[in-house]
Amino acid sequence: MTELGKYAATVLAAYGVSLALLAAIIVQSVIANARARRELREHENRG
């Protein structure tokens, strides 16, 4: 692994936060997509 020196904790924390935020955005997008599909299906079934 690359030697990060005295900034290792800061850099790794930044990577961790970035990955967590990306994961949260992906999860939120999947949930919103499922909700939109469900609402569209319900709307289409109502006629």
Joined tokens for residue 3: 């030697």
d(CA 37, CA 45): 12
How many CA atoms within 13 Å lie on the side-chain side of 16? 6
Give, for all 47 residues of the chain, the pLDDT tens digit. Answer: 578 899 999 999 999 999 999 999 999 999 999 999 999 999 999 97
d(CA 24, CA 11): 20
Write out the H or E segment, with its range, that includes residue 25.
helix 8-46
